[in-house]
Amino acid sequence: MDIEKVIEGRAFIDGELRYAEIGISEGRIVTVGRLVSGGDKRVDVGSSRIILPGFMDPHVHFRDPGMTNKETFDTGTMAAVHGGVTCVLDMPNTKPPVTDVQTLLDKKASVKGRANVDYGLFAAVTANVNAGMIAPLAPAFKLFMGSTTGNILLDEDEEMIPAVRDVLATGKRMSVHAEDDHLIAREVEHCTRDHLRNRPAEAEWNAIRRLASNFGGAKINICHLTTPEGLDMARAAGFTTEVTMHHMMFEVDRCTGAEYKVNPPLRDIGCRDRLFKRFLAGDIDMLGSDHAPHAAEEKAQEFDAAPGGIPGVETTMPIVMDMVRRDVIPMSQAVRMGAENPGRLFSVPKGRIAVGYDADLLVFDMRGSSTIDVRRLHSKCGHSPYGGFGAVFPETVMVRGEVQVEDGEFCGEPLGRDVCG
């Protein structure tokens, strides 16, 4: 096979940074070595920069179709690519929700040709779900055990257990919003402390406990874990785990306004700090932004009326890379949680610089730390709680070998593909 392009420099390969030349053909990595011959185009990133695999965000809500006043696939993937995310997995609670083959095909048709990164579209787990028909078209399924944006709650065992059994029989992974809806209260809320009161940690624990008792060892991913106790329960059950930046950075008594209203809720500072320690210890499988944008005017409503959700697809991995720069975590952990594990667990050939993988590559100058300027972010929602946070954004972003971002600026086109065709 003819090599079309060669990228040269210090690259993160098999757990370490070392000099390599990466040969690319038809969007895939076809050779990696000290010396790769051929290539019509050769790019040397220089000795001061590093090459990482593109990151994957396994949990975004791009609101398209049906809620495009908040975000569109165009703007959501534009935010993603600037944050070094070259593949996103989009959740099914859009309007209409993705609950069957036809709504999935309709959503595929709606977003086709508008994505700046590659993507997969989840389907929802509902009563009497036709999982066998849907599975070839979706990278995974999503189960909502707790009420949140959209109306696809499935929390009664007599309907949930057979539906989950059908989904797992397809071999696809099932991600879960693990809050037991029976334990969620509907009292009036004035601040995040009230929101936490309505959605206690016990709701997370009981949801995981119910899953473990019926499906221990199954291909289940617990989304946006908020407590170390929930983490321990999920790990003991053999489930994979995902954590968000907001549950590790913010706490309920300092972050009180609707900007921080999110499901599951922010916890108290002690719980947050213990969760962050487990992140530092490498006990969690993946980072997911749970990018859940709402329009600024919606978030500006009285707390009880404001919707829950925090945007984060553009900021999560740059904040993580700043942690790497400051030696808070090793680079191997950032790559494992942000690239390797999501690609492996959702069976997408991304997340590694290795032969056979998509040529999704990032170039970072680790000396180039900045602070997040909300005005420069690309989500349509136009707001973020991460303003002023330290971050290292990628200088160059390639999706399947094609440069989408150069010198931090978008220079590409909407070439994103559906990972399930």
Q: Dump pLDDT digits (tens) for 46-82.
A: 999 999 999 999 999 999 999 999 999 999 999 999 9
Residue (of 400, 305, 265, 315) closest to 57 by Cα position: 315
Q: Reply yes or no on whether the pLDDT at 148 is more than 90.
A: no
Give me the active site residues, please.
290
Per the listing, tokens 């696939």 go with 73
Between CA 140 and CA 230 the distance in angstroms is 22
Render pLDDT for 181-208 as a digit per residue (tens, 0 to 9). 999 999 999 999 999 999 999 999 999 9
The answer on 139 and 13 residing in a single domain is no
Tell me whether residue 45 is in a domain.
yes
The answer on 364 and 327 residing in a single domain is no
Between CA 52 and CA 84 the distance in angstroms is 10
Q: What is the mean pLDDT of residues 342-349?
A: 98
CATH code for position 135: 3.20.20.140
What percent of the chain stands above pLDDT 90?
A: 96
Distances (CA, A) of 123 to 152, 165, 250, 294: 11, 15, 30, 21
Per-residue exposure over 351-364, b if at least 16 CB sit within 10 Å of its own CB, e if not: bbbeeebbbbbbbb
Q: Reply yes or no on whether the pLDDT at 1 is more than 90.
A: no
Give the list of residues 6+ apart from residue 209 with CB closer than 8 angstroms, or none: 233
What per-residue confidence (pLDDT) applies to 213? 98
Tell me whether residue 311 is in a domain.
yes
Counted domains in the chain: 2
| Of 345, 368, 389, the domain-final residue | 345
What per-residue confidence (pLDDT) applies to 147? 82
CATH code for position 33: 2.30.40.10
Q: Reply yes or no on whether the pLDDT at 150 is more than 70.
A: no
What per-residue confidence (pLDDT) applies to 40? 84
What percent of the chain stands above pLDDT 70?
A: 99
Per the prediction, the chain carries an average pLDDT of 97
Tell me whether residue 215 is in a domain.
yes
Banded model confidence at residue 362, pLDDT cuts 50, 70, 90: very high
* Lowest-confidence region among 37-46, 155-164, 180-189: 37-46
Q: Reply yes or no on whether the pLDDT at 115 is more than 90.
A: yes
Render pLDDT for 325-341 as a digit per residue (tens, 0 to 9). 999 999 999 999 999 99
| Of 321, 345, 369, the domain-final residue | 345
Domain that holds residue 74: 55-345
Contact 283, 235 (CB under 8 A): yes
Q: How many helices (H) and strands (E) does the chain have?
A: 13, 20
